[in-house]
Amino acid sequence: MNQAHLHMLFNHFPIIGLFFGIGILTYGIIKKQTILINTAYVIFIICMIMGKATMMTGEGAEDIVEELGISHKIIHEHEELAEGFMKVLYGLGLFSIVGLVLNKRKHPKTIYITYIVLVLSIIAAFLSKSVGTFGGEIRHTEIRENNTNDNNE
């Protein structure tokens, strides 16, 4: 198993996990169920960890696909989007940790953290679409907007 394979294994969880977390968090807010809100926080923390694992395998994956003749330009665009996405994901993970701690202490202002986490998770979900699409376009030329094979640009 090489870095490209690991990168492809890790990169799906932060994207898919965000959508599950948003659904669970929203339902938890509506039903005022702390256990559901905490579950969403844990999912977002795992998304952050898996996002970091994805970033750690990205450089090795880049080296492998560049040897296959893939354009550095498209890889670089994916990498730049991923770095921005990870900043939001780090914030989401950290606020989720704070939310867990405040919920455990039954702090009265916890709801503010919950809404911050909801907003950050929605922003992260929107960013994940671009990161995932650009990543997929690296080897799946059929999903590129111009539908051309631009190897070696």
pLDDT of 151 above 50 = no
| Number of Cα atoms under 13 Å in the Cβ half of residue 15 | 17
Q: Where are the domains positioned within the chain?
A: 3-143
30: how many CB neighbours lie within 10 A of its CB? 9
Q: Which of 122, 116, 86 is nearest to 99 (CA)?
A: 116
pTM, two decimal places: 0.87
Q: Which of 75, 10, 81 is nearest to 48 (CA)?
A: 10
pLDDT of 153 above 50 = no
Per-residue model confidence as pLDDT tens digits over 89-109: 999 999 999 999 999 999 999
Per-residue model confidence as pLDDT tens digits over 44-79: 999 999 999 999 998 888 888 878 777 778 888 889
